[in-house]
């Protein structure tokens, strides 16, 4: 499980860097500045959670059961939260109106919060 968490964390980090560069350079000419700022929020949260998964993957302080739950919550959370933010920020570039599926953004945020909460609970329940 640790290898899966670490490889996913690395992939999320790589994608965040690529999307960050795209947002900083490629989007400037085709979307409004507010949309770029929104896009950057998605990148920032994706990177935060990539780093979080790196920690979870290497720490012996978290049980394997908790690691699996954190991994699932964070992966789906990043896909929903950051993924929807990317599409919402670039909404003007598509014929589909991504505002219609905007409800998944707060659901993704909640999943990310729950992932961090599982870490917190696992740490405070730990003996020693």
Residues 20-29: tens digit of each pLDDT:
999 989 998 8
- Cα–Cα distances in angstroms (integers) from residue 52 to residues 6, 31, 48, 68, in the given order: 10, 30, 6, 13
Domain count, the chain: 1
Alpha-carbon 120 to chain mean position: 18
- Give the pLDDT of residue 128: 65
**CA dihedral of 90, 6, 54, 24, whole degrees rounded to 10:** -30
Per cent of the chain over pLDDT 90 is: 84
- Tell me the angle at which helices 33-58 and 2-21 cross, rounded to the nearest 10 degrees: 160
Structural domain boundaries, residue 38: 2-125
- Give the pLDDT of residue 43: 98
Model confidence pLDDT, tens digit, residues 95-113: 898 899 999 999 999 999 9
| pLDDT above 70 (res 45) | yes
- Cα–Cα distances in angstroms (integers) from residue 87 to residues 41, 56, 71, 100, 109, in the given order: 12, 28, 23, 11, 16
| pLDDT above 90 (res 4) | yes
């Amino acid at each position: 499980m640790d290898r899966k968490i670490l490889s996913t964390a690395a992939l999320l980090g790589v994608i965040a860097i690529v999307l960050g560069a795209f947002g900083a350079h490629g989007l400037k000419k085709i979307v409004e500045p507010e949309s770029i700022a929104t896009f950057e929020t998605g990148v920032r949260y994706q990177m935060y959670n990539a780093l979080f998964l790196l920690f979870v993957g290497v720490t012996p302080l978290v049980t394997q059961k908790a690691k699996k739950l954190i991994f699932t919550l964070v992966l789906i959370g990043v896909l929903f939260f950051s993924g929807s933010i990317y599409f919402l920020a670039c909404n003007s570039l598509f014929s589909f109106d991504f505002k219609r599926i905007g409800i998944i953004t707060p659901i993704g945020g909640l999943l990310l919060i729950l992932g961090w909460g599982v870490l917190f609970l696992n740490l405070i329940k730990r003996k020693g």
